[in-house]
Structure 1
Amino acid sequence: MSDTIFALGSGPAPAGVAVIRLSGPHAGTALSTLTDGRPFPDPRVATLRNLIDPTSSGLLDQGIVLWFPAPNSFTGEDVAELHVHGGAASIQAVLSALSTIPGCRMAEAGEFTRRAFAAGRMNLTEVEGLADLIAAETDAQRRLALRQASGEGADLYKNWTDRLVRILATLEAAVDFPEDDLPEQILNRNEIDIRTLVEEWTQHIELGRASAGIRDGVRVAILGAPNVGKSSLLNRLAGRDAAIVSETAGTTRDVIEVRLDLGGYAVTLSDTAGLRETEDRIEEEGVRRALDAARAADLILYLSDDATVLRSALPNALSDREGDIFLILTKQDTEEEADQTTGLYPISSKTGAGLTQLLERLEEACQSRYGAAVAAVAVRARHREALAEACDALEHALIEREFALAAEDVRIAVTQVGRITGRVDVESILDVVFSEFCIGK
């Protein structure tokens, strides 16, 4: 019999209310002990109770208790929740009292969710979605994570698995019962179904790559020569003095980063060293890091206070990034419209002129690049790697003439998709074989 675990399930103290969760076979005993043996509350009904210290019989707190008997709970086990006052002393008193009850212990990190997964209440994509939902800082991150945590991605993976199982079942039938020739239309349908799956997976792999801009944030590098206003722009957008501003050229030697919420997208702005030829080894290293930051960035703000410089050729290191670059004409203290023909954005970090227009354009760029990715299901690298492996296996199955070898390729694809959700049920293949085919008639 497993231990009963408990932990603070809400935010740290102080708070108005703290939620302490218990899960396991002794959850009912613990609830009865803390409430001095009073009658159990009805399942899923909030009930006011005094919480009593089992060692001293003293009053710990007065709070709301809820009871979720197995299997209708988050973990699939007996679960109790104690809603107590959110002061540090109250929380610690209840946790200490729980630790004295036999069979109860503090939960390890992620242990409630792990038990939910083990009980089949969640699959791996839902677990990962829940973790992302807790960590979400912006609206786009919240929407992406919520789709995963609520099981929308799992439904799609199940659909893919069901279709793979049907394909595999026909191939297994052809191998195990060669005397019953499969109709030509079934083999043709298999080929069409395989090609359709490969096309869908390829699209979702690309959509998943785009979702990295939502989960991990959009990286925006601020580049330009020394003293063109890079640090001033960073500070103005951050609303604080994140970078040192000085008339002395070469003040910024390292990459300085700040995070912004731009229209629901997490944006990391990177202020970089001024680009110029230098014999100062430290400044030279700063220039190298600036170019590295530009190469790693999704978008680049290239600044100059000279329109002629902006209209001339970009640095060689950025020649392949034209579609990702915003040309920013700095120190323009009067409000001017962006030049649509040249793509120049006049701004002033001092007066704020032009910044609203620039931010709107950046938000549009994020929406254009990553808006559709909110619907992605292959949001993690391991998802995309598994789908790519499954694609390779199905493409190999298309050119394989031996049913047994083609079936093995499809089985690999089933396994790869199962790795994503953490559920690989090969027994379901037999169910399809015996339900859809009249074998041994």
Structure 2
Amino acid sequence: MLDDTIAAIATPLGEGAIGIVRVSGPEAIAIAEKIFVSRTGVDWRRQGSHRLFYGLVVDPDTGQPVDEVLLGVMYAPRTFTREDVVEFNCHGGIVPLRRTLELVLQHGARLAEPGEFTRRAFLNGRLDLAQAESILDIIRAKTDAGLAVAMSLLSGELSSRVRRFQDQLLGILAQVEADIDFPEEDIEVASREDLKISVLALMGDLEELIHQARFGKVFREGLRTVIVGRPNVGKSSLLNALLREKRAIVTEIPGTTRDVIEEVVNIRGIPVRLADTAGLRDTDDIVEKIGVERSRELVKAADLVLVVLDASTGLTSEDRAVLELVDEQKGIILINKSDIGDGEGLARQVADLYPDKPVEVISVKTGYGLSKVEEAIERLVLGGQATASQMPLVSHVRHKQALVRCHEHLQEVLRALSAGENIDLVAIDLRAAWEALGEITGDTVAEDIVDRIFQDFCIGK
């Protein structure tokens, strides 16, 4: 338990039906006693944990009521932070929430830092570090699949697998250290070949999780997708069609889009961060030129590029320049305006020139082929190898890096065993592999990493 009490507004600021001031720590109940008055005459302090009480928040210095509230009372250790917690369920306006928080702070609490409630849950053993990180993922989830990945992490599925790996490592390490400590004793010690078999089996399981990481990252962060093409091929119309709303301005005038428009769309459970860019062409217009340069920068950083061509004009020199720009990128070529042009003919021509990229014939105006675009995105991203139902998924770069470091140490173990090196060196790498896995759950993580994780949280969470 920590020895101070923290408080914060736990709901978004602004007008709403309800706003919550959350208080956690050893003085939470005492603070509530000072500023909460029951309207029913119930002695709420004697009614037990996890109950709501109707009453008023009152300034004890003036006797002036601040708000009519429901007070939630939860006693340690059966709370999110494993500390005493009270929550003032206020009317959802800025003034009553701010005044209630001010009174709480005046009577013994301090303002919580970003993510401090979740950090206390971690420090008090309520969550491990991977589970704590999942809280932010749940808040930021853009699709049902992204939410499922975050909930899997919160449930501890990844942590359970990591701990099983750690137990396996400890078993291997125990055999190695028995050989180190008692070389002359009649103790049954695994041979180097047996140790290699055990290490290889563990490495195979690690490789499976590392492979899953790229899918988990997509579900968690979204797929950075850029729509590119020369002016007036239908890029903005495609954005509107995939969003199913008129987000971008569409006209017959080339160069209408001069800046980048970004939106998130749910495509078959994949959160796709779509960016509609300025048409790629040489121009003397200063504003449009800036937009074109930004488009080129986005293409370089994209996970996926959707190249839009115009079936009604055929393949132009500007189209070829666009295709050359994205030649090294993962992408899908879309032949638009097939309702007024030879889409199939242009598709065959482009497929011959760029056989490594999928080509789809579409008409944004009529809706033809849009479902095939969604299928192509799903196929290209997941390759039929992962869905949100395959849990647990590694979705954080930090977790993947820890798994990779563990794998690298085990590779050193194999090398040392094969080369007949001193068994002490094997033990060192086995311990390092165990510590790398401990960074995922927080068992061996440095404090500066913990600080960096929780600074991304909002105040009140």
| Residues 1:16 and 2:17 aligned together | yes
Q: In the alignment, which residue of structure 2 is the partner of 1:350?
A: 365
TM-score normalised by length of structure 2: 0.79
Q: Take 1:195 and 1:183, find their aligned partners in 2: how far apart are those partners?
A: 21
Q: In the alignment, which residue of structure 2 is the partner of 1:436?
A: none
SS at match of 1:309: coil
Higher relative CO (CA 8 A, sep ≥ 6), structure 1 or 2? 2
Larger deviation, residues 116-125 vs 298-307: 298-307
Q: In the alignment, which residue of structure 2 is the partner of 1:431?
A: none
SS at match of 1:375: coil
Amino acid at match of 2:425: L
Q: In the alignment, which residue of structure 2 is the partner of 1:330?
A: 337
Q: Is the 8 A contact 2:311 2:346 kept in 1?
A: no
Matches within 5 A, 1:40-59: 40=45, 41-59=47-65
Q: Take 1:372 and 1:128, find their aligned partners in 2: how far apart are those partners?
A: 21
Amino acid at match of 1:232: S
1:309 Cα shift? 3.1
Q: Take 1:182 and 1:77, find their aligned partners in 2: how far apart are those partners?
A: 48
Q: In the alignment, which residue of structure 1 is the partner of 2:161?
A: 156
1:167 Cα shift? 1.6
1:197 to 1:339, Cα distance in 2 relative to 1, 3 A: farther
Q: RMSD value over aligned CA atoms?
A: 3.4
Q: In the alignment, which residue of structure 1 is the partner of 2:251?
A: 245
Q: Take 2:385 and 2:86, find their aligned partners in 1: how far apart are those partners?
A: 41
Q: In the alignment, which residue of structure 2 is the partner of 1:7?
A: 8
1:370 to 1:145, Cα distance in 2 relative to 1, 3 A: farther
| Residues 1:424 and 2:444 aligned together | yes
1:143 to 1:241, Cα distance in 2 relative to 1, 3 A: closer
Equivalent position to 1:405, from 419, 425, 429:
425
Structure 1 unmatched ranges of 5 or more: 426-441
Equivalent position to 2:184, from 179, 182, 206:
179
Identity of aligned residues (%): 34
1:224 Cα shift? 2.7
Q: In the alignment, which residue of structure 1 is the partner of 2:397?
A: 381
Q: What are the superposed Cα offsets for residues 115-154 of structure 1, whole Å, 9 maximum, x if unpaired?
A: 1111122121111111111111221221111111222221
1:243 to 1:293, Cα distance in 2 relative to 1, 3 A: farther
Q: In the alignment, which residue of structure 2 is the partner of 1:437?
A: none
Matches within 5 A, 1:88-127: 88-101=94-107, 103-127=108-132
Amino acid at match of 1:9: A
Equivalent position to 1:214, from 216, 219, 223:
219
Matches within 5 A, 1:268-283: 268-275=273-280, 278=282, 280=284
Aligned residues: 419
Structure 2 unmatched ranges of 5 or more: 352-357, 446-461
Q: What are the superposed Cα offsets for residues 238-270 of structure 1, whole Å, 9 maximum, x if unpaired?
A: 42242563433x554554433222233221222
1:8 Cα shift? 1.8
| Residues 1:201 and 2:216 aligned together | no
1:359 to 1:29, Cα distance in 2 relative to 1, 3 A: same
Larger deviation, residues 168-177 vs 141-150: 168-177
Q: Take 1:370 and 1:271, find their aligned partners in 2: how far apart are those partners?
A: 28
Q: Take 1:253 and 1:182, find their aligned partners in 2: how far apart are those partners?
A: 75
1:351 Cα shift? 4.0
Q: Is the 8 A contact 1:70 1:78 kept in 2?
A: yes
Amino acid at match of 1:404: D
